[in-house]
Chain A
Amino acid sequence: GESVGLHLPTLSVQEGDNSIINCAYSNSASDYFIWYKQESGKGPQFIIDIRSNMDKRQGQRVTVLLNKTVKHLSLQIAATQPGDSAVYFCAERGRDDKIIFGKGTRLHILP
């Protein structure tokens, strides 16, 4: 099966609050990790990536944290907006260069 998994299938967050989406991976040889956002009826859209030689990377309103010790990846979204409603996937590139995806977390924004 896939080696990338997620802790929560659904996350509900108040508009304006920060969102944290978590991801566990099992392949310690993975060297590249990516977060994607998928809106209903669309293809996944790249959000942010991080290589295994880093533990933190920031983008616009998003931050990815990588903890290689516990094989954990998280995506933080600051000041969550209604447009952030989507399914979020983490993905990893393993030793064989394949990029594999986890099952996803649905982010639901409460008004």
Chain B
Amino acid sequence: NAGVMQNPRHLVRRRGQEARLRCSPMKGHSHVYWYRQLPEEGLKFMVYLQKENIIDESGMPKERFSAEFPKEGPSILRIQQVVRGDSAAYFCASFPTRGDEKLFFGSGTQLSVL
């Protein structure tokens, strides 16, 4: 049973470009969280998604950031017109159902904005 898969592992973008981060949850998991982590800091909540639904996006900036979790395929975190301050590790975590919130994390995507 494969774990949570994130790709790419490393992503380099120039200022103004778009970044697309992908997350395939564990098999049977229909809930996904995205977190952002800066060096030597904790994980900051960004968005909580269920398939085809955004449950809570209160941690995500209103501009430039968007997330989706379609019925088929991975969850996508999209950052448009990236700036240097977007450089961070972005982690995705999944869990099967409400009431069983033991999160399983992917290895993260390290985004570097030049």
The distance from the CB of A99 to the nearest CB of chain B, in whole angstroms, is 6
The distance from the CB of A58 to the nearest CB of chain B, in whole angstroms, is 17
Max chain B Cβ within 10 angstroms of own Cβ: one of A44, A45, A101: A44
- Judge whether B45 is part of the interface by a CB distance below 8 angstroms: yes
Contact A43 to B108, CB < 8 A, known contacts A98-B45, A101-B43? yes
> Is the pair B56, A46 in contact by a Cβ cutoff of 8 Å?
no
Closest to A93 in B: B101
Interface residues on B, range: 20 to 34
Q: Which residues of B contact A103 (CB under 8 A)?
A: 41-42
> Is the pair A43, B91 in contact by a Cβ cutoff of 8 Å?
yes
> Is the pair A99, B42 in contact by a Cβ cutoff of 8 Å?
no
Contact A89 to B43, CB < 8 A, known contacts A32-B101, A98-B56, A99-B103? yes
The residues of A with any CB-CB pair to B shorter than 8 Å are: 2, 32, 34, 36, 42-46, 49, 89, 93, 96-104
Q: Provide 24 A-B residue pairs closer than 8 Å at the C-beta atoms, listed in order of the A residue.
A: A2-B44, A34-B101, A34-B102, A34-B103, A42-B108, A43-B4, A43-B6, A43-B91, A43-B93, A43-B106, A44-B93, A44-B103, A46-B103, A46-B104, A97-B56, A98-B58, A99-B33, A99-B101, A99-B103, A101-B35, A101-B42, A102-B42, A103-B41, A103-B42
The residues of B with any CB-CB pair to A shorter than 8 Å are: 4, 6, 33, 35, 41-45, 48, 55-56, 58-59, 91, 93, 98, 101-108
